[in-house]
Chains A and B, each alone.
Chain A
């Protein structure tokens, strides 16, 4: 005998009933009630913690049962099995496994799936959209941390001309424009906008001095342009932002992300290595030595560490390694 509350589905009238099993039939007996029906026609709610469970009948009536242990006994006597999710939710080992699995999957998604999706998306984003994104980003940067350049117009023109005259190993000339800016906060730095235009900061020009070394750094940036690396990074940070927005519900935090992501672009070691390789190939193709980039990196590393001047390196990891690699390339 199992005590339950019976409801007719048409009103809130509560009737005390008792449930029992006779063979494969369920018997419901109570105030003006005497029902007998095959248990196969009864839908049993899944277990959710210690919430009352309902036995639902086809005509919309149901019984609400609070004594879960007695119900378990009744259910097992007719061979009813809980659903698999139901059992997993109560299985301590599986719950612990889920904790671990969630963390690992989240990490794996961040490490592999996100870059893969960003790379795909970066290649297929409409050019008009990329262009607009770049204009928007540059406008925001110009208002905040970028100032008009102090480099003389002739020097700018000379650098731009040399840059545009570079021949790319895959054919053609750079499709990017050079944008000259001054930034006390970012120091000696160069970075790429989503559409491929390269922002070259005054401190980098004055620090390196030598045009060929500047071109070597630009060759490295051209590798990022070619792979649309900046756009990929931006998409990735947007996806992470969108994820948090979904859970935390703050859209405004996302809006600030784009300019920050462009300036602080921290590419992976692999990506940097590939970019160095491309730069070396490009330099060689144009009759220059890959050692130029190594020289440029050395100068950047020697400028007082921790000061704003080392900005370019702080966003590009493990300089020693890269210089060694470039010198090997130059020696060949």
Chain B
């Protein structure tokens, strides 16, 4: 396959589409997952950094483009240091939130100031340690750009009651993708804010639909009935309370399992189909119904196996997501050149994982 397009003719020859392939296998990954989990427990969490590297390597190395697999090069020690810093931040945040003291303002402010820098470092670490055919990716976004994207745009989204959120999302992805490089080849990003607004609008309509459904089916009535009983101080019908909670949690889970995947699929398709690596275009066609099915079935199986299904779930999801992506190459993909080596810490990445700020893929 990789030699199919080695023609040296001056005319542009169409190059074959290169779909991403993922060859991971749940049973195989289960062995790796559980052994590393045990080692993590036995070492009181210290081994988790090594486990993480192995997990990423498992997924990267089973991901194949044009007959060659990706690789992850991150050092476990760096990840461990990053984890410790992230843990300290999480602790500070949790303690201050729980106490609802004046300290919370200081902590949240400090986090807001540090976060953009950390996130930028996290992008750098992740990309620098990713390679394909021995050529590393790079992230070259400036610190200033990161503050603009996260703090300024985040603030704008907040004061406009999130009307600007799709705009912020677009700018964030633009910052991320336009500053990404494969060796010396820069990526570009072509999705416009308007396209993000269209998806967010759809999401908004879906949510409104959900709430109308809830009020029509009389769930709202059940809530007021419970509130009424409590106000009168009399006995509350426990079965009614139980049903109300069941419906409430059911609704939340339904939103997470249906609206979430639809949104994720649409946004991911938009983002990746509008990203190019140099002259090479990318196409992402993730089917929302298929993603809903995978999310729902994974959720149910993970719960009913008390977590033992997690490795299979992760492999299924990765396979589905990765294989919906393909590259439309403008050449035979032999010409990417590596850049100079750089030194990047893992703090940002760990902090970002803990606080879960990565909005998409």
Contact = CB atoms under 8 A, between A and B. Distances in A.
The yes or no verdict on A and B being binding partners is yes
Nearest to B37: A102
A317 B32 CA distance: 43
A308 B69 contact: no
A64 B68 contact: yes
A133 B39 contact: no
A48 B98 contact: no
A28 to B, nearest CB: 14
Candidate in B30, B94, B234 with the most chain A CB atoms within 10 angstroms: B94
Nearest to B29: A49
B41 to A, nearest CB: 5
Contact of B69 (A9, A13, A51, A101): A51
A129 B354 contact: no
Interface stretch (A36-44, A84-92, A169-177): A84-92
Nearest to B91: A242
Contact of A255 (B34, B58, B68, B98): B98
Given A48-B57, A49-B25, A88-B35, A251 B97 contact: yes
B34 A95 contact: yes
A255 B132 CA distance: 44
Interface in A74-102: 85, 88-92, 94-95, 98-99, 101-102
B219 interface: no
Contact of B58 (A49, A98, A105): A49
B336 A12 contact: yes
A12 B98 contact: no
B337 interface: yes
Candidate in B24, B61, B132 with the most chain A CB atoms within 10 angstroms: B61
Nearest to A53: B61
Given A12-B132, A12-B183, A88-B35, A50 B28 contact: yes
Contacts of A129: 99
A69 interface: no
A147 B39 CA distance: 50
Contacts of B62: 48-51
Candidate in A9, A12, A90, A92 with the most chain B CB atoms within 10 angstroms: A12
Nearest to B339: A10
Contacts of A308: 235
A296 interface: no
Interface in B12-48: 23-25, 28-32, 34-39, 41-42
B104 to A, nearest CB: 11
Nearest to A257: B98
B68 A106 contact: no
B54 interface: yes
Contacts of A148: none
A149 interface: no
Contacts of B100: 136
B32 A13 contact: no
B342 interface: no
A54 B337 CA distance: 20
Contacts of A302: none
Interface residues of B, number: 53
Interface in A285-325: 308
Given A12-B132, A61-B134, A133 B98 contact: yes
Given A11-B336, A101-B38, A106-B41, A184 B234 contact: yes
Nearest to B47: A85
Contact of B38 (A48, A102, A251): A102
Contact of A89 (B23, B31, B230, B334): B31
Contacts of B68: 5, 7, 12, 14, 64
A24 interface: no
A55 interface: no
A142 interface: no
Interface string B225-241: 00000100111100000
B334 A11 contact: yes
A136 B132 contact: no
Interface string B83-112: 000000010001001111100000000000
B308 interface: yes
Given A105-B42, A147-B233, 9 more contacts: A12-B135, A12-B337, A14-B68, A14-B334, A49-B28, A50-B23, A51-B58, A54-B71, A61-B134
26 contacts: A10-B135, A11-B334, A12-B134, A12-B135, A12-B336, A16-B3, A48-B58, A48-B62, A51-B61, A54-B71, A60-B134, A64-B69, A85-B35, A89-B36, A90-B31, A99-B308, A102-B34, A105-B38, A109-B41, A132-B101, A184-B235, A245-B94, A251-B94, A254-B94, A254-B98, A255-B97
Leading 9 A-B pairs by shortest Cβ distance: A51-B61, A7-B134, A49-B28, A12-B133, A12-B336, A98-B38, A98-B34, A184-B233, A9-B134
